[in-house]
Chain A
Amino acid sequence: MHSVRVQEKDFSVHDEWKACRERLRGKAGAVVSFIGLVRERSTTGKVSSLYLEHYPRMTEASIDRIVAKAQQRWSLLDVIVIHRIGELQPEDQIVLVIVASAHRADAFAACEFIMDLLKTEAVFWKKETGDEESVWIESTLEDVNRSQEWQE
């Protein structure tokens, strides 16, 4: 069971968690969630806004593949990924990952794995606007390294 959504509008962690719990109905022993926020500072300085562009359907398919990899690797009962696009401000919610499993080890590992791969394999382009200019940003070496560690 899994659900992937790419949307401009904000999400409610409470609503998603409630819907997840209703679907699970006593089967899960662990639910791990991750919420990503827009930082007010990046390596290039102050961030006044962050713009995320996607390629409709290809982006969703790229996230589906990440979730499928996680489902092959761990025993998961439910996975929810919501990723926002468009213009975001510092402090805004940008991504939600919820992973449910019978035992906590699977949910913890799969949630981190999905998040690490979202940073390198999900089809998004990001543009940061600071005080003076807007810059399309590249994947950081740390993100690439974290993603590669899962392949070893």
Chain B
Amino acid sequence: MTTRSITIQVKFFASLKESLGTSQIGLNVPIESTVEVLLKKIQDTYGRDNPLIDIQHARVAVNQQLAEIDQVIRQDDEIAIFPPITGG
């Protein structure tokens, strides 16, 4: 049985955007994937040991609301990953 997947767009901000060299990527993840699965996928894509990509301290927003790692991602969700905010 094949697992159905969805394509999602992920935005990056600040130092993560700089380290990854892109402000947005498209990724395929299995349907019903959580934020945690997405972060692992990004680590696998960019190299787990890449010191520039501090995924462990990254924050994830789904539809502009900060998300927990067990939140399930849907096809049309707006996903953003960024370092801790520094305020105004």
Q: Which residues of A contact B (CB under 8 A)?
A: 36, 52-53, 55, 57-58, 61, 83, 94-95, 118-127, 136-139, 143
Contact in complex: A124, B15 (CB < 8 Å):
no
> Which 3 residue pairs are nearest across A and B when measured between Cβ atoms?
A125-B14, A119-B87, A58-B64
Interface residue count on the B side (C-beta < 8 Å)? 14
Query: If A57-B64, A61-B64, A136-B15 touch, does A124 touch B87 (CB 8 Å cutoff)?
Result: yes
Contact (Cβ within 8 A) B86 A55: no
CA distance A94 to B88 in the complex (A): 8
Q: How far is the CA of A56 from the CA of B47 in the complex (A)?
A: 29
Are B61 and A125 in contact, with the CB atoms below 8 A?
Answer: no
Which residues of chain B are near A52, meaning CB under 8 Å? 88
How far is B80's CA from A61's CA once the two chains are assembled, in angstroms? 15
A-B contacts besides A53-B14, A124-B86, 7 pairs, CB < 8 Å = A36-B88, A55-B61, A55-B82, A123-B85, A125-B82, A126-B86, A137-B86
Known: A94-B88, A139-B87. A53 touches B64 (CB 8 A): no
CA A55 – CA B78 in complex, angstroms?
12
Given A57-B64, A136-B14, residue A121 in contact with residue B80 (CB < 8 A): no
B30 interface residue, CB < 8 Å from A? no
Greatest chain A CB density within 10 A among B15, B83, B84, B87 is at B87
The listed residue with most B CB atoms (<10 A of its CB), out of A57, A94, A138, is A138
14 CB < 8 A contacts A-B: A36-B88, A55-B11, A55-B61, A55-B64, A58-B61, A61-B64, A118-B87, A121-B87, A124-B86, A124-B87, A124-B88, A125-B86, A136-B14, A138-B86
Contacts of B82 in A (CB 8 A): 55, 125
Q: Which residues of A contact B13 (CB under 8 A)?
A: 53, 55, 125
